[in-house]
Amino acid sequence: MTVPKEMPEKWARAGAPPSWSQKKPSWGTEEERRARANDREYNEKFQYASNCIKTSKYNILTFLPVNLFEQFQEVANTYFLFLLILQLIPQISSLSWFTTIVPLVLVLTITAVKDATDDYFRHKSDNQVNNRQSQVLINGILQQEQWMNVCVGDIIKLENNQFVAADLLLLSSSEPHGLCYIETAELDGETNMKVRQAIPVTSELGDISKLAKFDGEVICEPPNNKLDKFSGTLYWKENKFPLSNQNMLLRGCVLRNTEWCFGLVIFAGPDTKLMQNSGRTKFKRTSIDRLMNTLVLWIFGFLVCMGVILAIGNAIWEHEVGTRFQVYLPWDEAVDSAFFSGFLSFWSYIIILNTVVPISLYVRPKACSQDPCRWSISSPPCSPSLTSCPLCSVEVIRLGHSYFINWDKKMFCMKKRTPAEARTTTLNEELGQVEYIFSDKTGTLTQNIMVFNKCSINGRSYGDVFDVLGHKAELGERPEPVDFSFNPLADKKFLFWDPSLLEAVKMGDPPTHEFFRLLSLCHTVMSEEKDEGELYYKAQSPDEGALVTAARNFGFVFRSRTPKTITVHELGTAITYQLLAILDFNNIRKRMSVIVRNPEGKIRLYCKGADTILLDRLHHSTQELLNSTTDHLNEYAGEGLRTLVLAYKDLDEEYYEEWARRRLQASLAQDSREDRLASIYEEVESDMMLLGATAIEDKLQQGVPETIALLTLANIKIWVLTGDKQETAVNIGYSCKMLTDDMTEVFIVTGHTVLEVREELRKAREKMVDSSRTVGNGFTYQGKLSTSKLTSVLEAVAGEYALIINGHSLAHALEADMELEFLETACACKAVICCRVTPLQKAQVVELVKKYKKAVTLAIGDGANDVSMIKTAHIGVGISGQEGIQAVLASDYSFSQFKFLQRLLLVHGRWSYLRMCKFLCYFFYKNFAFTMVHFWFGFFCGFSAQTVYDQYFITLYNIVYTSLPVLAMGVFDQDVPEQRSMEYPKLYEPGQLNLLFNKREFFICIAQGIYTSVLMFFIPYGVFAEATRHDGTQLADYQSFAVTVATSLVIVVSVQIGLDTGYWTAINHFFIWGSLAVYFAILFAMHSNGLFDMFPNQFRFVGNAQNTLAQPTVWLTIMLTTAVCIMPVVAFRFLRLSLKPDLSDTVRYTQLVRKKQKAQHRCMRRVGRTGSRRSGYAFSHQEGFGELIMSGKNMRLSSLALSSFTTRSSSSWIESLRRKKSDSASSPGGGGADKPLKG
């Protein structure tokens, strides 16, 4: 970027980096941003983006060509366009062009209308936003300008409740010290207000005349999508001033509780951080999608093979037989040899047999650019194009499943008025295949409503209440809570049970006073006083709000703050502290500090943070106090409480001045600013004096233990990834039944080096294998085993184990040379808890399991620190809790309580997987049964590419005759009711093992379809060879044969879907029988006089359908064909139900038994005598109950009992499949062929 000539030299002398004078800006590739206030001419030289946004894709002129170009990028549409071109060649096609162009045009039109509608609303939204009015300072006068006309370098005036038009540097405001308050819900989902402030040098520029003369220049980072970071420098009046995110107002925010403010536009339009975050969505694809892509390629290869076989047959037939009929069946002019005839025949059969390729199921979602903050199920779905079977598309079924989730009243939270929401339509069936759940703790398993419970001050613990015998009193046995009536500013909702802490405050205990003084000063809470004495705290985290509220009730009331002061009422006396610095919290520091000067002029640093961080930064003189405080910390953590350590440090004036100077230099640095500041903070936060610790209670959400127990019975492994300390996480693990006293052993990994961690993991594996050997499983541990062998041994160990690992140990365990050892050990355990983990480590753990286990993973969390984990997992679930909705915005599914997860997986997920698998199996079956008839017919028509069916039947088969029944099954079918799905979680296992749709099931469906096609062709062919009409004439003719075969096909596939349907609704009945009725109506209409009169060249065979179906022989043929096609299926299913029932079959059987019992009990009650009660039981009891009881059929089977009941035949093979699957998945490269749905 070249320094403009107009740039004063004083700014260069003020410290502009030399590299800037050598860089040239260009929009999209700029390395830094320069913006000069009130100088549009200067800023226009850099050609920055305007503030006009455009999310629409088309206009009137470009819509048709661009939309068609986009649609024909889809494989499905291109494939059918290719077929259409082939059909337009007379020498090739034996089908009319409309058999392909009708569905193609239909799909293109529907998609174009949808895209046009979506784009119309985008245009409308863009115009609405771009035409908003804003007050812009131009030539010293405030003028109304549209947002689209705002430029970089303009000064804008905002008023209360207005949206911020662009990314602004806050210059001044109506509040003292340049403060202003904003709401960022549209940006990051957080509803609590945040404070921003102008730098002191511009905070006095509230007058328009002063602002008109302001000519400062900002040099800062280029446009990026980091919402929480900004680095820049303001050059003005021969000085430079550091700028941070606290000085910025971002587009999408709303000004609140501030009368007005002025800001300098830094980024506009597409350069704003809001628009930078509106990138393309990364689509997640299910294992069924990936398998489908493979199967479609296989089927296409099969189609080519059939075409080659028939083409060779044509060439041979033309050479051997066809040449004899050249006189009255001559070749076309273009055909000069039998070989060329075979070549043309190949393409003819590709056209005829193309329906064998289910191209409408080839799912390739189109990426769409949407605002991630506003995406919902109501947003325009990114759907694939639909082709040969539009109504039966996978996407239509998925959309239906998504709406079922949205409409589920049992997943609606009445307290928050929040429904469950499926934010994607592409992952529903994957919900039925989850094997690993990765969960956050705070706000996900717990309520994230923090309560100040206990504390340790100067070595003494407060919070417990003891009875007269010295025993700790339980909550129900405690006396009245502490009376805070002495404090008129106390929060009436705050409860504390130990009166000794209040006594220590009243008696003036110095450490206690200093403890609560720290809590009232060291925070970023904002205070609002609506009425006199009624304080409302707005905290960025529930923990911080709980600590400040505790200090408030014990007499240290935080009242107000300015950028440079904090006012606290200490036991009724108002004291104002000068705020010198805030050393803010982040995930790396895990602590925050403030440096204040008290009225006496004494400078002190107050710090609070995680014990693992703060205890290493204490002065050596606090060792004795440290020991007692550590004991209290362990006690609190053992009770599941969240702990923080408090410390302080006195600073002398000279040291502080020198430290503040170095801090200012670091804050002005353009490169590595954050690292330099972290080093400066690290220096001052050392040798601190320990004050004590706090313990905050975060209770479990309702239903968490039951949910975890149920998911565990479904063979889903749950890993908790939390930032809390080990003891807290372990206690929560016991509370939610992840950890139990019945476990064989709980392994704790706390090593600080690679060798220590490896050794601890090795010992854990040895113990698991040794215990299995002692139980008698026959395993022997021989030192080093291969990865696959060791994994199979570990996953078959007897007993239940749990693994707990700390963040520093996890960092070593995730290294490339140890990650497999960690994974093998963890996966052999029933429960895994990772403590003190960072957001990045959460994502790394999920990625590790995805990479090696080839299992479907689900991550669930509620905060911004869970976003990376949610995006990494196959399925991301967001909890709409207390920490905003950032996790929800990044998720695929969202709801308000963890307990709804069991219903999402065991009911909606299992049903979606079942329905999708049944839909796909039936779809392949009916298409092969329909198409392969042409293949067999080819051997009897001289391989001439003549079709069996009427061309209208070919067009309507997938669109009308068979689309709605399979759609109804795919949307509404269920094997067992939802109550049984929750009652018997073992029903979930087939999805985990991919039992319902895999390559084996695919080939079974294909074989059944081919078998049906053979009978469908050869039975009518054999009958028609000798059959006659009632008048003795020959029955066999082409059209009669076509009607017979087509009618047989429609009836057979309709009966088949009736057998496949497990849950009948009125819609199923209407669609199945309605489709049959529509078939016959269209059939008779196409052979009627009316259509012949209107279109004599198209409907020539008048009365053929009526004449054919009037023959008893035809109906007998249809009935015979139907019976022979269906009876083997019925027999096979009957035998399987009798000899080897699935768990779902057994559950349905128990349902029938229960219904029978209820009917018998009702009958028994009706027979009872009403006279004397003597011997009433003997007289009223009915025959048959003794046999029923002895048979055990009337006993309510628990989930485990039912599992064992059925697993005599089914569980054993499920377990063997699971072991086989784990063996193949254990090696990094293994498991490709046998696990088609994994990856």
How far from 944 is each of 42, 67, 458, CA to CA, in Å?
A: 76, 38, 98
Q: In whole angstroms, what is the distance from residue 364 CA to residue 859 CA?
A: 24
Q: In whole angstroms, what is the distance from residue 1163 CA to residue 1033 CA?
A: 62
Which residues partner with 242 through β-bridges? 233
Burial label, 1230 (beta-carbon count in 10 A; 0-12, 13-18, 19+):
middle
Placement of tokens 């989930």 in the chain: 1199
The DSSP call for residue 640 is: T
Q: In whole angstroms, what is the distance from residue 1189 CA to residue 1198 CA?
A: 17
> How many other CB atoms are there within 10 angstroms of residue 570's CB atom?
15
Q: In whole angstroms, what is the distance from residue 673 CA to residue 666 CA?
A: 6
Sign of the four-CA dihedral 915, 917, 918, 923: positive
Placement of tokens 């009891």 in the chain: 1181
Distance, CA of 637 to chain centre: 32
Placement of tokens 């109804």 in the chain: 968
How far from 251 is each of 31, 33, 192, 1115, CA to CA, in Å?
A: 21, 17, 17, 72
Angle at 428 between CA 422 and CA 430, to 5 degrees: 135
Q: Report, in this order, helix, strand and coil percent for the chain, each rounded to 5.
A: 50, 15, 35
Q: Which two tokens stand for residue 211?
A: 């602002």
Nearest to 349 by CA among 318, 313, 389, 295: 313
Q: In whole angstroms, what is the distance from residue 1020 CA to residue 421 CA?
A: 52
Kindly report the backbone phi and psi dihedral angles of residue 224, in degrees, each rounded to the nearest multiple of 5, phi listed first. Answer: -155, 175
Where on the phi/psi map is residue 161: left (φ > 0), alpha (ψ -120 to 50), or beta?
A: left
Length of the chain in residues, anyone?
1239
Distance, CA of 553 to chain centre: 42
Q: What is the CA radius of gyration of the chain?
A: 38
What are the catalytic residues?
440
Secondary structure (DSSP) of 490-512: --TT-----HHHHHHHHTT-HHH
Sign of the four-CA dihedral 885, 887, 890, 893: negative
Nearest to 353 by CA among 301, 290, 294, 295: 301
Angle between helices 1211-1226 and 1199-1206 (to 10 degrees): 90
Q: In whole angstroms, what is the distance from residue 634 CA to residue 691 CA?
A: 17
Instruction: For 458-570, list the strands marked E by DSSP.
Output: 460-462, 526-531, 534-538, 556-561, 565-570
Q: Please answer whether residues 711 and 989 qualify as being in contact, where contact means their C-beta atoms are separated by less than 8 angstroms.
A: no
Q: Please answer whether residues 430 and 287 qualify as being in contact, where contact means their C-beta atoms are separated by less than 8 angstroms.
A: yes
Which residues partner with 157 through β-bridges? 135, 262
Q: Please answer whether residues 804 and 748 qualify as being in contact, where contact means their C-beta atoms are separated by less than 8 angstroms.
A: yes
Q: In whole angstroms, what is the distance from residue 647 CA to residue 632 CA?
A: 16
Placement of tokens 């050609």 in the chain: 47
Q: In whole angstroms, what is the distance from residue 1079 CA to residue 1048 CA?
A: 12
Kindly report the backbone phi and psi dihedral angles of residue 362, in degrees, each rounded to the nearest multiple of 5, phi listed first. Answer: -75, 95
Nearest to 1236 by CA among 1216, 1227, 432, 1225: 1225
